[in-house]
A and B are shown apart, each in its own frame.
Chain A
């Protein structure tokens, strides 16, 4: 089983999968936040036109795809910034124009390339060359570096664009940066999952991550973990199963999502039964309310008539009198964050 790791193409495929699994959810979380989940899909369409131009002209398809997708990304953000009601339609024109041009141009390519079309649409790790892997590595590092520097600002803009504009954050440049990062991710993922399934790897790990997380940062960590497991795992099992890597990766991600959703529902049901709500609570505890505040794990309990009360969603939970008992069944505001998976 492990001998497949020693084959060159498998090593290349696993490295490419690792990069995609890492980068796609990181970029995707901001797209989900901006409710632009499907924009990666559109950029995949345009990247196909880039690939076709590369195949016909003999230029490197990865680079022409990158150029096409980045151009489309900038155009899309500028159109959206103009705020015209038909921006939506304009996006449709760009996306379908891209894929149609790709199909037409590719038909004029030298002999033997039509098979290539399918490999770009659905991914083909077998044809990934070492030079491709290097390009992907550089692009992935650029994406991660940019995100590391800019993520608080991307979060602010995606979270509340009007506020960001009011206080002078560079909203349009940040949106363009995100669009370009999306385009770059599309190109990195093109060989592994294919242009038609790229969006899935940006969205599905985040959908699953949101079921587990209570904060943006933990959501991001979960999404990256799930993205990595699906991408690397998908490539790994696609070999013995003899299935296409792209589809396998996405099926795996969707399975993880379903399993997570079902187990969270069960866990939620159990917690609901176990947790004690402090009845009739008019008073709102706060730093200056006069009740003694007792730090408890990641939250604060207030000592209220001999009971420890902790804020939880719209009510207060009883966190009991004895500290250890309380800790073991803690379901405070963020208590569910990371532990649930264990």
Chain B
């Protein structure tokens, strides 16, 4: 990773986007859940992905990672077609729901160590430096004292932090995080935001699905809203905030970051996948 010193908040204007979707559609089986996504993400951008439950945020993240059906359009990572990318270790992933097997006991450290494996090639074995990286990742999420604790006995928020540490252990160039802070207490969220800020300074690109901007807000360079399987807003946080203010004015009793989604015209409409009322790209 060639990390030239640069401003933390400005995107790198290098010509090849880290992630590049063009007219992409993803889904499960034959059924498309997100469609027509065109999304170039450049090096150093920190993108929040917002949207109501079931809008297709996780489906979009999994699509970028090649974990579900890619039904249309193109996906390129680091300038290469995603399915031909050799060096997948450059991608880090924090899934929304942990899919860790519970039938065999394992410790937080053992789980985080699996995050290091992509960096070791097909047959390499972990060396002292790899173990240090793993220990450091646990330390960054504030779990060094639980390294030897069985993951199943950790709390929900602590388990999330184990998954974040697992992604950090791979020292990725791009981090795809699906609700990394859900269930994480405020203090830990701030610690996490500091950790991510340090990665941002190193030029790591991030795609963060979230319902609460919270502590992460200060890091963001861009906001993308997904609703009904489509991108309905894509722009800098300032413009998002302006639109949110306009919207709050309309019904200020209740507000949610992701509800801008349906567009300004439709205040009360169903946000299901079949609803195509709010597709105007901002």
Residues of chain A touching chain B, judged by Cβ–Cβ distance below 8 Å, are 29, 32-35, 149-150, 152-153, 155-156, 158-170, 206, 210, 213-217, 219, 284-288, 293, 298-300, 302, 311, 313-314, 333-334
Contacts and interface: CB of A to CB of B under 8 A. Distances in A.
Interface in B126-173: 126, 139, 142-146, 148-150, 153, 155, 166, 170
Contacts of B66: 165-166
Interface in B212-236: none
A215 B107 contact: yes
Contacts of A29: 104
A284 B117 CA distance: 30
Given A215-B106, A287-B139, A159 B100 contact: yes
Q: Return the 10 tightest CB-CB contacts between A and B, nearest first.
A: A168-B88, A156-B114, A333-B149, A286-B142, A300-B145, A33-B104, A166-B93, A216-B106, A334-B148, A167-B118
B103 A32 contact: yes
Interface of B: 65-67, 85, 87-89, 91-93, 95, 98-101, 103-107, 110-111, 113-115, 117-118, 122-123, 125-126, 139, 142-146, 148-150, 153, 155, 166, 170, 176, 185, 187-188, 191
B91 to A, nearest CB: 6
17 contacts: A33-B103, A152-B113, A155-B114, A159-B104, A162-B67, A166-B88, A167-B89, A168-B85, A168-B87, A168-B88, A168-B91, A214-B148, A299-B148, A311-B146, A314-B153, A333-B149, A334-B107
Nearest to A212: B105
B118 A169 contact: yes
Contacts of A216: 104-107, 110
Contacts of B125: 149, 152
A152 B105 contact: no
Contacts of B149: 311, 333-334
B85 to A, nearest CB: 8
Contacts of B87: 168
Contacts of A161: 99
A295 B155 CA distance: 22
Contacts of B110: 155, 215-217
Contacts of B148: 214-215, 298-299, 333-334
A287 B37 CA distance: 42
Contacts of B144: 286-287, 300
B104 to A, nearest CB: 4
B67 A152 contact: no
A160 B101 contact: yes
Contacts of B95: 162-163, 166
A159 B105 CA distance: 10
Contacts of A165: 65-67
A170 B120 CA distance: 12
A160 B98 contact: yes
Contacts of A288: 142, 191
Given A156-B114, A215-B150, 5 more contacts: A159-B100, A162-B67, A164-B114, A166-B176, A210-B104
Contacts of A286: 142-145
Contacts of A302: 145
Contacts of B98: 160
A329 B169 CA distance: 34
Contacts of A210: 104-105
Given A162-B95, A311-B146, A333-B153, A35 B114 contact: no
Contacts of B91: 166-168
A164 B170 CA distance: 12
Contacts of A333: 146, 148-150, 153
Nearest to A153: B117
B88 A149 contact: no
Contacts of B89: 167-168
A288 B192 CA distance: 12
Contacts of B103: 32-33, 35
B162 to A, nearest CB: 11
B167 to A, nearest CB: 9
B12 to A, nearest CB: 23
Contacts of B113: 152
Nearest to A35: B103
Nearest to A333: B149
A32 B170 CA distance: 27
Nearest to B138: A287
B122 A170 contact: yes
B65 A219 contact: no
Nearest to A295: B145
B93 A159 contact: no
A314 B191 CA distance: 21
A150 B124 CA distance: 9
A158 B102 CA distance: 10
B159 to A, nearest CB: 12
B145 A299 contact: yes
B129 to A, nearest CB: 15
A293 B147 CA distance: 15
A103 B252 CA distance: 76
A214 to B, nearest CB: 5
A293 B88 CA distance: 38
Contacts of B115: 167
